[in-house]
Copies of this chain bind each other. A is one copy, B any other.
């Protein structure tokens, strides 16, 4: 049973505040263990990777090899259902087309007094992509992380993936090939992150690491941050559906459960202006839950974090949605554009009754790596900008230096930085 919040209630604001700040994750403190693993990989390189992989994955890298070979990838592609391959290719094409539009353009220009200024974008030289093993190993996530890097022009894309029990999900290897990953290593956990950050005999270091992982992977990414760049550390997934009474309750219930089945910490929320509709959605959720393969996970998520929020009218949903700042926001209403215009905080918006969030997970073309836990207030989904960096350019001749130099000297002296002042004054042939 999800909780009900009603705008009419006298203590609604207090209830909503408490709801907003509910923690949905227990973060294990694995920092000490991870620190030791990272140090060990820095010191012993490949040998450390082999030891941890034998211990944690029961795989002997000395026998099967650290790097996944082209022949293995060929074999994985061969055993992947052709329907799945086709769907992955469709997804990759659509992701590529959409992300190509995100590529920033250089801007090099001269201002009115002849100062040359500019922003120049270059691709990151090497990127590591972490892919979890086991049930959380999603080929769609390989595409979502790797295709934007390829679009950005990253020349070296290194994937690491643990081979629990000796095997890697063939569809993951197929997705890696479709996305243009250039190297794949059979290693996971904190040790894989350490190898990507510091390098080993076999694995050259990268400049940035992206991709989801468990508590050990997340802690390792935080610890190597600075030495390399990292993407955001994603929390459990969430969806907010704003729905009027004209929807089929079963459609909305299906969308809520699609989010809930991810993780017991996932969160599904409906805001509606119709109490009867809210109750119908709730009943549909209970009904559909019984038939799901992951019903235990979905039921726990819905019970612990699900919510139905009843508002007086749909306009009132806007400030609430902006405070929730959901990773995924569905607008299942008659006039979604009117609401959308006023939404400022959301990772992604799914417009209208025929755009279930799941389309965005796979084949919409937009990225499914999106800010969770209210971080859409200050951050964006993964995209091409995460795989490039901007160098700023400044160019003065003697004339421009004469025009701007005196103000720089004034500010340098006012900040007590005499050597700064001299660096300009000496070129103007003057004492500073």
Which residues of A pack against B, CB within 8 Å? 81, 83-84, 86-88, 90-91, 94, 97-98, 101-102, 104, 107, 109, 111, 115-117, 119, 122, 124-125, 135, 138-140, 171, 207-208, 226, 228-229, 233, 248, 250-251, 254-255, 257-258, 260-262, 288, 292-294, 298, 340, 343-367, 370-371, 373, 375-381, 383, 385, 389-398, 400-401, 404-405, 407-408, 410-412, 414-424, 426-427
CA distance A368 to B350 in the complex (A): 39
Q: How far is the CB of A174 from chain B (nearest CB, A)?
A: 10
Query: Are B379's CB and A411's CB within 8 A?
Result: no
CA distance A124 to B380 in the complex (A): 11
Counting every copy of the chain, the complex holds: 2
CB-defined contacts of A343 to chain B, threshold 8 Å: 391
Query: Are A392's CB and B366's CB within 8 A?
Result: yes
On whether A362 and B411 interact (CB within 8 A), knowing A377-B207, A392-B367, the answer reads: yes
CA distance A351 to B261 in the complex (A): 55
Query: Are B392's CB and A117's CB within 8 A?
Result: no
CB-defined contacts of A410 to chain B, threshold 8 Å: 83-84, 86-87
Would you mind naming 8 contact pairs between A and B with Cβ atoms under 8 Å apart?
A: A97-B111, A111-B365, A117-B366, A139-B415, A171-B414, A351-B394, A358-B412, A358-B420
* Contacts A261-B419, A359-B401, A361-B408 supplied; 19 other A-B pairs, CB < 8 Å: A81-B414, A87-B410, A87-B414, A91-B411, A94-B111, A117-B364, A122-B345, A226-B375, A257-B419, A258-B423, A292-B418, A294-B418, A340-B393, A348-B391, A356-B424, A359-B404, A363-B407, A365-B394, A366-B394
CA distance A233 to B293 in the complex (A): 45
Query: Are A396's CB and B117's CB within 8 A?
Result: no
- Nearest B residue to A418 via CB reads B293
- Central interface residue in A107, A408, A414, A420, by most chain B CB within 10 Å: A420
